[in-house]
């Protein structure tokens, strides 16, 4: 994880430094992108490539692009008109640190930069770039992440059942997480059966990540969270502990972990040790 984060941070710093200095835009982009995230998606990308027998360099541009998309979505989700969060990873959110207009534009700029990074890549063929942009645009667009966020906002205060909640999360966070393994498979020219098994794996892992986040949101302190403790719970949002009780959510998380590990086994990868460890990291975080 640490190595993946350092790798990705370096690429991102280079890409953002290459942008012109305009108003506070670049500073805001840089502030949000370097805001100490775990770099879970880059780690998943690099580890998938390693599992497929490819060098990590092959994943640099994919990891940077997906982190640009992820960061832009956090900046926009934190806006007053959306989740209205003041803290993110223990630091003021982008619109608090700068202003709302700058935060909207920094998000917009990071989305464009994600596609620019893939198109400019020297690590990928044209065919791979096109396939990756197909995956990334769909995963982040109306059928994926943005659609999930719209659905999520719409469901505040509504009584959702588990399958409705799952449909939201599969779009809101799952689509981008499964895009990581999809794009790594494209970069590695992996056969279709591995790509589809790893897609199921990463969707399961993404769901586990969400269930785990929901649990942590109510069991950890504000200090550990880096945002207001219980903020999702209080916002009258549907969460797994609310739906299944805290114990039920923990049981479900364990089921998801087992499913993810079974899928990894089925994929018969060259070396799946890192992905196994990552799965445990997601499911066994300090609850």
Closest approach, Cβ 34 to a second copy, in A, equals 16
- How many other CB atoms are there within 10 angstroms of residue 159's CB atom? 8
Residues 16 to 45: which contact a second copy by CB under 8 A? 19-20, 22-26, 29
Answer yes or no whether residue 81 interacts with a second copy by CB under 8 A.
yes
Closest approach, Cβ 14 to a second copy, in A, equals 14
Of the candidate spans 36-44, 53-61, 134-142, 225-233, the one that interacts with a second copy by CB under 8 A turns out to be 134-142
Answer yes or no whether residue 13 interacts with a second copy by CB under 8 A.
no
Structure tokens at 69: 């998309």
Q: Which residue, 109 or 283, is less far from a second copy as judged by CB?
A: 109
Residue 265 to residue 66: CA distance in whole angstroms: 26
Q: Which positions ≥6 away from 48 have C-beta within 8 Å?
A: 59, 180, 181, 184, 185, 188, 198, 275
Q: Which of 9, 48, 140, 170 binds a second copy (CB under 8 A)?
A: 140
Closest approach, Cβ 36 to a second copy, in A, equals 22
Answer yes or no whether residue 108 interacts with a second copy by CB under 8 A.
yes
Q: Which residue, 47 or 182, is less far from a second copy as judged by CB?
A: 182
Q: Which of 31, 40, 46, 115 binds a second copy (CB under 8 A)?
A: 115
Answer yes or no whether residue 147 interacts with a second copy by CB under 8 A.
yes
Answer yes or no whether residue 236 interacts with a second copy by CB under 8 A.
no
- How many other CB atoms are there within 10 angstroms of residue 48's CB atom? 31
Residues 171 to 200: which contact a second copy by CB under 8 A? 171
- Closest by CA position to 146, among listed 116, 184, 109, 108: 108
Closest approach, Cβ 266 to a second copy, in A, equals 29
Three-state secondary-structure class, residue 194:
helix
Q: Which residue, 8 or 109, is less far from a second copy as judged by CB?
A: 109
Answer yes or no whether residue 205 interacts with a second copy by CB under 8 A.
no
Helix 60-77 to helix 25-33 angle, to the nearest 10 degrees? 100
Q: What is the DSSP string of 74-133?
A: HHHHTSTTTT--SEETTEE-HHHHS-HHHHHHHHHHHHHHHHHHHHH-SSS-HHHHHHHH
Of the candidate spans 147-155, 190-198, 230-238, 269-277, the one that interacts with a second copy by CB under 8 A turns out to be 147-155
Closest approach, Cβ 17 to a second copy, in A, equals 11
Strand-pair partners of 92? 87
Helix extents (H) in the chain: 2-17, 25-33, 40-51, 60-77, 94-97, 100-120, 126-140, 145-154, 162-169, 175-187, 192-219, 222-225, 231-234, 240-267, 273-283
Site for a second copy, rule CB under 8 A:
19-20, 22-26, 29, 72-73, 76, 79, 81-82, 99-102, 104-105, 107-109, 111-113, 115-116, 118-120, 126-127, 129-130, 133-134, 136-138, 140-143, 146-151, 153-154, 171
């Amino acid at each position: 994880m640490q190595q993946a984060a350092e790798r990705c941070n370096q690429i991102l710093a280079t890409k953002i430094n290459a942008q012109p200095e305009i108003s506070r835009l670049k500073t805001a982009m840089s502030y949000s992108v370097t805001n100490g995230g775990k770099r879970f998606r880059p780690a998943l990308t690099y580890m998938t490539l390693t599992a497929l027998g490819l060098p990590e360099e092959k994943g640099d541009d994919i990891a940077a692009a997906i982190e640009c998309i992820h960061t832009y979505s956090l900046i926009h989700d934190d806006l007053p008109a959306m989740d209205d969060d003041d803290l993110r990873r223990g630091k003021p959110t982008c619109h608090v640190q700068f202003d709302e207009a700058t935060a909207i534009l920094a998000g917009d700029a990071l989305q464009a930069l994600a596609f620019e990074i893939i198109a400019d890549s020297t690590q990928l063929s044209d065919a791979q770039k096109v396939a990756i942009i197909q995956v990334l645009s769909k995963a982040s667009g109306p059928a994926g992440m943005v659609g999930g966020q719209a659905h999520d906002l719409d469901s505040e205060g509504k009584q959702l059942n588990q399958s409705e909640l799952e449909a939201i999360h599969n779009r809101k966070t799952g689509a981008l997480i499964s895009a990581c393994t999809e794009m790594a498979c494209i970069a590695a020219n992996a056969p279709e059966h591995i790509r589809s098994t790893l897609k199921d794996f990463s969707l399961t892992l993404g769901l586990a990540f969400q269930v785990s986040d929901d649990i942590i949101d109510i069991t950890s302190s504000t200090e550990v969270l880096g945002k207001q403790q219980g903020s999702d719970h209080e916002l009258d949002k549907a969460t797994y502990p609310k739906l299944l009780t805290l114990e039920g959510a923990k049981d479900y998380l364990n089921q998801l972990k087992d499913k993810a590990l079974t899928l990894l086994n089925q994929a018969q990868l060259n070396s799946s040790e890192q992905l196994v460890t990552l799965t445990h990291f997601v499911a066994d975080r300090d609850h």
